[in-house]
């Protein structure tokens, strides 16, 4: 398994996705801000829900102008790039950005996630995929975001499988924020709202 943690190799790898580390960190920052905006009187799950909603919105606001599209196959909200055959999904995490330990998702992973991960184990950037199978066979990458007070960590990673409701094994991990790095980043928490976009969403069962 490749674990990328040096800035030069991260920058080079993210170029394959057509995004930069700073752009992904802006998505993370918006999600963190949304989580922190939850009132103490709100339900316990409100912060996580708000982070997921805002993180997904910001991921789409970033990627759609770059030629990606919004999808929700198997009720999994994501962005998908047809030419590269990859998909990115926002994921709140109980652990992320650790160079030794794999990330852990907060929520249990169901059959939809298992299908998405299992179907995407082919070449990361295939030269040709039959159009009707393209999205179903997309390599599903997850933007993991961990928040515990001022401790924020994040990574973009490609799991191998889902077992016992959790990700098991990773093909590749790109560490965006490791422990202690977030506090030195000059990123505002009160981001402007995501721009209004005409967002056609592809849905498949």
Whether 190 is covered by a domain: the verdict is no
Lowest mean pLDDT among 15-19, 109-113, 153-157, 172-176: 109-113
Query: Residue 74 has what pLDDT?
Result: 83
Averaged pLDDT of the chain: 84
Query: Residue 56 has what pLDDT?
Result: 98
- CA–CA separation, 114 vs 110, rounded Å? 6
Confidence of residue 75 (pLDDT cuts 50, 70, 90): confident
Whether 76 is covered by a domain: the verdict is yes
Whether 60 is covered by a domain: the verdict is yes
- CA–CA separation, 205 vs 203, rounded Å? 7
Residue 37 sits at the vertex; the CA angle it makes with 145 and 198, to the nearest 5 degrees, is 70
Whether 161 is covered by a domain: the verdict is yes
Q: Which domain holds residue 55?
A: 2-185
Task: State the DSSP H helix or E strand holding residue 94, giving kind and residue range, or none if neither.
Answer: strand 86-95
Query: How many percent of the chain have pLDDT more than 90?
Result: 62
Whether 192 is covered by a domain: the verdict is no
Whether 151 is covered by a domain: the verdict is yes
Whether 20 is covered by a domain: the verdict is yes
Q: Total domain count for the chain?
A: 1
Whether 191 is covered by a domain: the verdict is no
Reported pTM: 0.81
């Amino acid at each position: 398994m490749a674990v990328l943690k040096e800035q030069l190799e991260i920058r080079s790898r993210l170029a394959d996705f057509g995004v930069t580390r700073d752009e992904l960190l802006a998505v993370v920052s918006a999600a963190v801000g949304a989580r922190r905006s939850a009132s103490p009187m709100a339900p316990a799950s409100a912060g996580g829900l708000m982070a997921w909603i805002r993180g997904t919105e910001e991921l789409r606001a970033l990627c759609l102008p770059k030629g990606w599209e919004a999808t929700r196959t198997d009720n999994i909200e994501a962005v998908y790039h047809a030419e590269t055959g990859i998909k990115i999904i926002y994921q709140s995490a109980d652990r992320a950005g650790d160079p030794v330990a794999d990330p852990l998702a907060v929520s249990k992973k169901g059959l939809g996630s298992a299908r998405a991960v299992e179907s995407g184990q082919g070449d990361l950037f295939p030269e040709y995929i039959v159009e009707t199978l393209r999205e179903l066979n997309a390599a599903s990458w997850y933007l993991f975001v961990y928040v515990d007070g001022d401790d924020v960590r994040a990574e973009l990673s490609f799991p191998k499988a889902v077992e016992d409701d959790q990700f098991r094994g990773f093909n590749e991990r790109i560490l965006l924020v490791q422990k202690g790095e977030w506090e030195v980043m000059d990123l505002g928490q009160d981001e402007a709202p995501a721009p209004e976009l005409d967002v056609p969403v592809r849905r498949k069962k």
